[in-house]
Every structure is written in structure tokens, then in C-alpha cells.
Chain A
Amino acid sequence: EPEVTQTPSHQVTQMGQEVILRCVPISNHLYFYWYRQILGQKVEFLVSFYNNEISEKSEIFDDQFSVERPDGSNFTLKIRSTKLEDSAMYFCASKAEYSIPETQYFGPGTRLLVL
């Protein structure tokens, strides 16, 4: 069964450094999402991406964050200058266009620790 993959599974970085989290969505999917979960809290939406542009973003997704689909298979989340509070699990998800069911498929997550 096709699945969403994410790399790396874990990343440790120093405050102020740039990080890029990578996702490979399911191949025929056209809607892409990033969510994050701070330890012990609920999963929060960051950004959705469709037709090569951001379709919606949350208040969390400020100028330090960016997303890109650099080629036909990858979807990346960049944090330009990490802060301690960016430490979280980051999930990528994808969905097919005009799909029934309307299921979003989640990757296994990248656990980011900012020191």
C-alpha cells in the first residue's frame, strides 16, 4: 500500500540554525499538508499546499517557515532560524484530488529538537 515517507526521522539542531524537513507524498496525490505536535499537546495545522501554492496557513506559519515542492515527488518544510519552541514532531500528509474517501494520509513524522 502506498505511504507517505518523511526524512529524517529525528533531527537535533542548534537554535538559530536552518532546518529542512522532507516528505515524499503518495505519488498521485495533489493536496499536501504540514502539521506539528509539541510534546504532550494536540496536533496543529501549519500549512496546506495545492496547485503549487499555499492554499491555507495557520498563525504559527510565520515568515520563518516556508514550503516548497522542488520536484515532482518531494515536499519540504524549511524553518529558517529555529527557536527552542520549534521543538516538536512534524507530520506531513497528502490527499488525492477529488477523492472519495477524503482521507488525509500521514507520514511517520520527523522529531525535531532545538537546543
Chain B
Amino acid sequence: GIQVEQSPPDLILQEGANSTLRCNFSDSVNNLQWFHQNPWGQLINLFYIPSGTKQNGRLSATTVATERYSLLYISSSQTTDSGVYFCAAGEYGNKLVFGAGTILRVKS
């Protein structure tokens, strides 16, 4: 089955800094989603991005499907960006397989 690996496992940033989170997946996928898990444990959907590039405010994501990786960029980080970022991948209609996540701490 699909395997998903994320790096780095932990990241500490000063407020205002930029960061890049990486997600590698083992097979071709029809679905790739990035989530932010907030302090209350909720999974906030950031992007659906099985290929290409998308931007939403200070966040953007790029997936290179042929090379089986996705990147999440956070620019001008804020303390509210802190939390765990998960990448999840899957095939059409099927389960999502989650990576282990990247714990991001943004310090003021």
C-alpha cells in the first residue's frame, strides 16, 4: 500500500521566518491533502493538491506527482501557525494514508 513520509519531524521558527515542509509518497495517487492540526485536535484542510501548485494567503503547496513528493511553504510565519502539519495521500475513493506529521513551533 501507499507509504507517506514527512520531513522534518520537528521545526522551530522565529515569527516572520519562512519554512518548507516535505511529503514523499510511494505510489501514484489521485488524492493528496495537507492538514493543519490545531491545539484542539481538529484537522483543518489546507490543500487538496495531487499535482501542480496552489496558493492560499501565506501558504502555498506544490506537488510533483512524477517524482512523488509534495511541498508545503509557509511564509512570514505567525505564532498561530504552530501545530502539527499532516500530509495524506490516497487513490480514488479510497482511504487516506497519513504521514507522521511535522510539529511546527513558531516563537514570538
Contacts and interface: CB of A to CB of B under 8 A. Distances in A.
Contacts of A108: 40, 42
A43 B42 contact: no
Interface residues of B, number: 24
A25 interface: no
Interface stretch (B10-18, B55-63, B68-76, B96-104): B96-104
Contact of B98 (A43, A58, A95, A102): A43
A106 B43 contact: yes
Contacts of A37: 41
A43 B43 contact: yes
Contact of A50 (B35, B90, B93, B101): B93
A55 B93 CA distance: 10
Contacts of B101: 42
B97 A45 contact: yes
A55 B86 CA distance: 24
Contacts of A106: 35, 43, 45
B80 interface: no
B31 interface: yes
A42 B45 contact: no
A33 to B, nearest CB: 7
Interface in A84-108: 89, 91, 93, 95, 101-106, 108
Interface of B: 30-31, 33, 35, 40-43, 45, 48, 50, 86, 88, 90, 92-101
Interface of A: 31, 33, 35, 37, 42-45, 48, 50, 55-56, 58, 89, 91, 93, 95, 101-106, 108-109, 111
A-B complex: 10 closest residue pairs judged by Cβ atoms: A45-B95, A43-B98, A103-B48, A101-B48, A102-B31, A106-B43, A108-B42, A42-B98, A42-B100, A89-B41
